[in-house]
Structure 1
């Protein structure tokens, strides 16, 4: 059986995803009640942003913790390259 892969960031990610779920449910209700396309688009933007932030947090946490565990001890040049890689991914 595989060990659970949990990190300190997971509660925050769950919170963001629950927020996205709430926004999505609101969006569905807005469509069903004939709200304006502008209001619906704004709500969809909130859903998209919450999911994007959850994904970004998960990936950054993985890179910051799991990648170091797999890479193990590295020389200065290799460590610098790995740190640069992790830093540049923050712009995704």
Structure 2
């Protein structure tokens, strides 16, 4: 069962990080097209990777802290779907 779409307080922060990553990634493409030094390109790729990883971590932690919180009662009533959902998202930590 898919839960209803929810907007969380952390989503603005996640969007900000992903937009930053998008800017870095666009810069990497330009740098490669301009044949910039590999060290400079690697530095920008590192920034992209860190921004995406932090956005992912924030999203997953927010999900664990808020989205699954209300489902604990369902697990107590024998519903295994929430536990399966937890296992699925935990793979991405």
TM-score after normalising by structure 2: 0.74
Q: Structure 1: any 5+ residue segments left out of the alignment?
A: 75-88
Q: Following superposition of structure 1 onto structure 2, how do residues 44-55 of structure 1 map, counting pairs within 5 Å?
A: 44-55=45-56
Q: Structure 2: any 5+ residue segments left out of the alignment?
A: 76-89
Q: Following superposition of structure 1 onto structure 2, how do residues 8-87 of structure 1 map, counting pairs within 5 Å?
A: 8-72=9-73
Task: Tell me the equivalent position of 1:7.
Answer: 8
**How many residues get paired?**
76
Kindly report the root-mean-square deviation, in angstroms, between the aligned alpha carbons of the 2 structures.
2.1
TM-score after normalising by structure 1: 0.75
